[in-house]
């Protein structure tokens, strides 16, 4: 587990930062819509938590497949 964290530290930091921003925005929007503090907190923790996991795996896929596409034209032109 430690190796996984160490190997992905920049992505994990970016994911954590994204999570904090997302929770804050979600809480404000949920409160504005519902007028309920409890419901706003519940919604703002649930949805961004799922999104944070999705973002991490999206970022890893982007690094794997997006990087290969960018490298292919450079290799073809060389």
Could you read off the pLDDT of 17-31 as tens digits, one per residue?
Answer: 988 998 899 899 999
What does the pLDDT average to over 47-54? 83
Q: Record the pTM.
A: 0.56
- What pLDDT, on the 0 to 100 scale, is given for residue 73? 59
Mean pLDDT to the nearest integer, 46-65:
87
By residue range, what is the domain housing residue 66?
Answer: 2-77
Helix (H), strand (E), coil (C) string for 48-61? HHHHHHHHHHHHHH
Give the mean pLDDT of the chain: 84
Could you give the number of structural domains in the chain? 1
């Amino acid at each position: 587990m430690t190796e996984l964290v160490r190997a992905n530290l920049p992505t994990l930091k970016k994911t954590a930062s994204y999570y904090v921003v997302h929770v804050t925005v979600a809480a404000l929007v949920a409160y504005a819509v519902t007028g309920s503090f409890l419901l706003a907190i519940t919604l703002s923790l649930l949805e961004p938590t799922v999104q944070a996991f999705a973002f991490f795996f999206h970022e890893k896929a982007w690094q794997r497949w997006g990087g290969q596409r960018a490298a292919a034209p450079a290799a073809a032109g060389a």
